Amino acid sequence: MWHRGQVLRVAGARLLDDRARPVISAVLDTDPVATCMVAARVELAGLDPWRLGGELWSSGPRHDGLCFSGANLVPLRGERSAIRSFADRARRHGRSCSSVVGRAELVLPLWDELAAHWAPAREVRADQPLMMLAGPPAVTADPAVRPVRPDELDRYLPAAIAMFTEEVGIDPRGNDGGAGYRARVAELIASGRAFARFEGDQVVFKAEIGALSRRVGQIQGVWVHPACRGRGLGTAGTATVVTRLGAMGRMSSLYVNAFNHVARASYARVGFTQVASFATILF
C-alpha cells in the first residue's frame, strides 16, 4: 500500500506521484515533440496514477530514465540500464497495453527485453519518421476543412473507422459493438480537435489533434477518401490543421510510417521536417 507523496522503488524503477510533477514537467520539456503524448496527460492530470490514466516510472538520481505505462507503453528517455528496469516492471505487470510506442532508440531495446516474455507482436514498425513544423505551413490551407460539429458524429465516424482500419490493420470497434471507439471519437469532436472536409454527406478529408501539450499538438488520423486521392486534399487539409495549431501557439508534429512515401512527400510539402524516428510495436 502506498500513499500520496511517496515514491516507491521497485526493481530499480521508481513509481512517481504528483510530488515529482514540477521536475518531471521540466524533464519532458527538454524533448517536447517526442514526449508530447505523455506531457499532455501530465499537464492535464498530474502524476497520480488514478488521474493520469497510467503510471510514470523513473530511473536514476535525476530521472535519467522515464517511461509511461498505460493504454500504451511509452519509454521517454534512458540508457540501457533504465530500459532493463522498465522491462522488468512491465514483465511483472503483464501486458495490458495495446502498443509500445516512442523514440525508436528506446522502443526497440525495450521490446528486445520484452519479446520473449510477452505474446508475439502483431506488427513491428521499426522506422516511423517523427516530423515537426514550428511555423506556418508552406502551402495554402484548405478553407473547406473545419472542426467537426457534435451533430456530425454519425457522418464522421465511418471515415474514422476506415482510417483506423487502414492504418492500424484492425477494426477499432472491437468487441463492444463500437461503443468505446465511438465515445473516443465523440470526445475529440467535443473538444474541437477533429477536422474534416465534407462534400455533401461524405467526408473526403479528416485529421485530428490527438495530443495537445502546452507547446506541441500532435496530428493523427490523417485520411483522404480513396476516391478523392491525388487531388492534394491531404496536403491542403493538413495545412489547415497546422494553421489552427499555430493560432493556438503550438508547434505541429506527427509521425508516419517510413514506407508511406506518398504521405511523407505530402507532409514535406506542408513544411514538416524529420526530427527523430519513432517505432511502434502493435499487439
- In this predicted model, what pLDDT tens digit does every residue of 219-275 receive, in sequence order? 999 999 999 999 999 999 999 999 999 999 999 999 999 999 999 999 999 999 999
Query: What is the per-residue pLDDT for 223?
Result: 97
**Burial of 59 from C-beta contacts in 10 A (0-12 / 13-18 / 19+):** buried
Query: What is the per-residue pLDDT for 1?
Result: 36
Query: What is the per-residue pLDDT for 164?
Result: 94
Query: What is the per-residue pLDDT for 4?
Result: 41
- Cα separation of 66 and 222, whole Å? 29
- Cα separation of 252 and 39, whole Å? 15
- Average of per-residue pLDDT across 105-111: 98
Q: Quick one: pLDDT band at residue 2, thresholds 50, 70, 90?
A: very low
For residues 241 and 271, the answer to whether their CB atoms sit within 8 Å is no
Q: Which residues contact 275 (CB under 8 A, 6 or more apart)?
A: 33, 34, 130, 131, 132, 253
Taking 70 as the threshold, does the pLDDT of residue 158 lie above it? yes
- In this predicted model, what pLDDT tens digit does every residue of 169-179 receive, in sequence order? 899 998 888 89
φ, ψ for residue 98, nearest 5 deg = -90, -15
> 165: which 3 cell numbers?
482500419
3-state helix, strand, coil in the chain (%, to 5): 40, 30, 35
- In this predicted model, what pLDDT tens digit does every residue of 71-90 receive, in sequence order? 999 999 999 999 999 999 99
Q: Quick one: pLDDT band at residue 5, thresholds 50, 70, 90?
A: very low
- Cα separation of 133 and 246, whole Å? 10
Taking 60 as the threshold, does the pLDDT of residue 207 lie above it? yes
